[in-house]
Amino acid sequence: MKFNSYIYRIGLILILTVSASGCKKYLDEKNKSGFDKDNYFQNAGQAQTFVNGIYTSLYMFQNGDAYGESPFITIELFAGHTTSLGQSVNNGNVINQRTDAVNPGFETVWKNSYAAIANANLALERIPTINMDENLKKNLLGQVYFLRAFFYYHLVRLYGDVPLITKSQTLASEDLYPARSPVADVYNLIISDLEAAKTSGLPNTDQTGKVSLGAVKTLLASVYLTTAGFPLQKTENYAKAAAEAKDVLTWYKLFDSYSFLHDNAHKNQDELIFQGNYLAGVKENAIPQLTLPFNLPVGAYGDHLGAMIPTNAFFASYEAGDLRTEERQFYFSSYPQYTDPTQTVTFGVHALYKYFHVESAMKGSAQEGKSDENWTFLRAPELMLIYAEAQNEADGAPNQTAIDQLKAIRTRAHLTTPTSFTQAAFREAVWRERYHELAYENKAYFDIQRTHKIFKTSDGSFGDATSTPNEQGVTMITQYYLWPIPQREINTNPQLKNAQNPGWK
C-alpha cells in the first residue's frame, strides 16, 4: 500500500511529557492510538497537551540516518557551500544537481509539515469551545497560529504552490486530496496567522522553548522580507519587515561567547529566539554525528557521518581576523581523540564547531553519546540583519540603526565596520554577514531563492544564481529554486498528477 500523507495528517496526534527541569517543553512521549478528537478537547489540560504535541513536528528537520541524510542537511546542500563526506548517494546527488523527486528528504518535510498543520487546524477549531481561562486559551491559540504559519512558511518556500488546508479533515472530506494553491494565497494565510498570534497575549520572550511575541514578530519580519523578493516581489513589504523587526530589536542581546549557541546551559536564552528543544533520555538528536568529520574518533558517538562539511573556499571567504574562523569558534579542524584524549585528531577539513555538543561528546560524561543540543530556528543576528536589509531597501540608504545592527554583529567577531554606506554597498555587506554569521543554519538557500543571487567566495561579491558557478564548480539550474513535489504524493493524490514543479521528473 502506498503511503498517503493526506491520510496520515488526519490521525497523527503527538502527546508529550513535561521535562524533568520543570520547564514546559514539548518532549515527545508517544503517539496515543485510538485518539478520539470528538471526546478529547474537554479541559485546559488537554488543550495544553495537544498544543505541546504540535511542537514535536519540529524534530523532523534533524532526523538523521546512518547515511547522513536529514532535512536540515538537504536544505543546506542546496545552497552549494557544503561537501558531504559520508555515504549518502542522495546527498551527493543534491550537491551535483542530479537528484530527483524520490529523494526521501523531500517527502519527510512535506509529510511532517502537513501532519503539524493538521493538528494545528484541529486545535484552532476545538480549543475555542473549551470552558477554560480565557487568557490561557488566547495564549495557546497564539502558539498554534505561529506553528501553522511556521510550517506553511517552509512548505511555500521549498515547494512553491502547495495545498492550502485550513480545516480538520476526515476520510469523508471533499478536499481530502487537494490541489495546489498559489504562492500568494499561502503567504496571505501565513501573514494572517502571525497577525492573529501577535494579539494573543504571548509573552515578549520565552525561556522554556515555547513561542513568544518576539518569535512571532521575527518570523513575520522574515516573511515580509521574503515576499519583497522573488517570486512575489512585493517591494512595499520591505518597510513592513523593517517595522516588525525594529519593534523587538531591544528584546534580545548577543551572547558574549559563541559557545553559548550550542551548549545546554544557554538554551532558549538571550539571542536564541526560537529553538527546537531536546532533552537527554527523552528526545535526542544526531546533529553532532551528522556534522562531525567522517569516520574520525571525535566524540562519544556510534557514527561520525561527515554529512555537512563546509567547503574550504567558504571558510576562506571570511575576513582576516574574524573571530568566527578561529579554532573552536564556528569551526574546528582538530580535537582530542575520544578513546585517548592525549592524542589529537587532525581532520583535514574545517568542521562545524557551532554544532559540536561538548556535553554528549565527552567520554564518561552523564550524557555520553546522547546529544540533546537544541536546534535554532531564529536568533537575534538574523533579526538584526532583517531590519538592516529591509530598512535599507525601503528608504534607499541605511540609517544609523541599521548600521548599528551590522556593526554589533561584526564587533563581536572582532571586525571593524564602515561608518557610512551607499545603498548597494550596504545591501551586499548585509548579505555577506548573513552568509558568515548564519552559516549552515538553513538560511543561505532561502536567501538564494528570494534574491536570485549566490555568494561568490572567490571575491566576496554576488553573482546571478543560475549563471555563476559555486566553489565546487556547479552552476545552479533554474529548477533548483524549488524542491520537487514528493513522488509519493504525485502517485497518490489525483490533483497532483500533472502538477510537478518545472524541470523535475
pLDDT tens-place string over residues 131-172: 999 999 999 999 999 999 999 999 999 999 999 999 998 887
Segment 49-92, tens digit of pLDDT:
999 999 999 999 998 776 888 999 999 999 999 998 777 889 99
Same domain, yes or no: 147 and 4: yes
Predicted local distance difference test score (pLDDT) of residue 63: 81
Task: Mark which of 320, 342, 371 sits at the end of a domain.
Answer: 371
Q: Would residue 382 count as lying in a domain? A: no
Predicted local distance difference test score (pLDDT) of residue 175: 78
Q: Would residue 41 count as lying in a domain? A: yes
CATH number of the domain where residue 155 is located: 1.25.40.390
Domain containing 8: what range? 1-181+477-505
Same domain, yes or no: 356 and 495: no
Give, as one character, the DSSP assignment of residue 422.
-
Predicted local distance difference test score (pLDDT) of residue 24: 40
Task: Mark which of 346, 371, 396 sits at the end of a domain.
Answer: 371
- Domain count across the chain: 2
The residues, ordered by sequence, that sit 6+ positions from 121 with a Cβ below 8 Å of its Cβ are 148, 165, 166, 167, 168, 169
Segment 17-56, tens digit of pLDDT:
323 333 344 554 444 434 567 778 999 999 999 999 999 9
* pLDDT > 70? residue 266: yes
Q: How far apart are the first and last CA of the chain?
A: 22
Predicted local distance difference test score (pLDDT) of residue 38: 73
Predicted local distance difference test score (pLDDT) of residue 29: 40
Element holding 446 (H helix, E strand): helix 444-451
Predicted local distance difference test score (pLDDT) of residue 35: 57
Task: Mark which of 324, 346, 371 sits at the end of a domain.
Answer: 371
Predicted local distance difference test score (pLDDT) of residue 27: 56
Segment 94-129, tens digit of pLDDT:
999 999 999 989 999 999 999 999 999 999 999 999
Element holding 377 (H helix, E strand): strand 375-379
* pLDDT > 70? residue 335: yes
Same domain, yes or no: 18 and 162: yes
Q: Would residue 499 count as lying in a domain? A: yes
* pLDDT > 50? residue 201: yes
Give me the residue label for grid cell 535526542. 284
Share the mean pLDDT of the chain: 91
Measured CA to CA, the distance from residue 162 to residue 178 in angstroms comes to 9
